[in-house]
Amino acid sequence: MRAAIGAGLAVGVAMLLGLASPLYALVSAVIVTDIDAAKTRKLAIPRLIGTAIGATTGCVATLFVQPGALAVVGAVLVPMFLCQLMNRPPAAKVAGYVSGIVLVSFSANPWEHARDRLVETVLGILAAALVSAVPVLARAAQSDR
């Protein structure tokens, strides 16, 4: 239920903002929504960090390689490995996802494309975290009564 509402919220905001590909906001909201709402909220910041790492490494990869199966392996592996080196394992999946997407679907301007995927993915992560915070906010409001 939270994943569906988060996805709808992310797509709605992406459309309101006129973002080119609301699909990535939808996918990221679903991917980062954990069964445990507290885990979704706790991992939001590491996942935002992973998004930035992935967008950067994916963009850099577009400068050196053409999209292809082997290039995708590297584009996903490198940011995931960097997240492990930085002691940020929860950021690894999102970093690999964003980097791979930037490489596979980049446009004439890879930095602009990476920025757009970053914004859309951040939107999905924030939507998932917000929806996951609703039960906490509701309990706090009830305890104030």
pLDDT tens digits along 54-63:
999 999 999 9
Lowest mean pLDDT among 10-24, 80-94, 100-114: 100-114
pLDDT of residue 111: 87
The conformational region for residue 101 under phi > 0 = left, psi -120 to 50 = alpha, else beta, is alpha
| Exposure class string for 99-123: b at 16+ Cβ within 10 A, else e | bbbbbeebeeebeebbebbbbbbbb
What residues have CB less than 8 Å from 35, skipping those under 6 apart? none
pLDDT of residue 81: 98
Name the band, by pLDDT with cuts 50, 70 and 90, for residue 106: confident
The whole-number average pLDDT for the span 101-127 is 90
What residues have CB less than 8 Å from 46, skipping those under 6 apart? 88, 90, 91
> What average pLDDT is seen over the chain?
92
Give the domain ranges of the chain: 2-143
Tell me: pLDDT of 107 over 80: no
The whole-number average pLDDT for the span 50-77 is 95
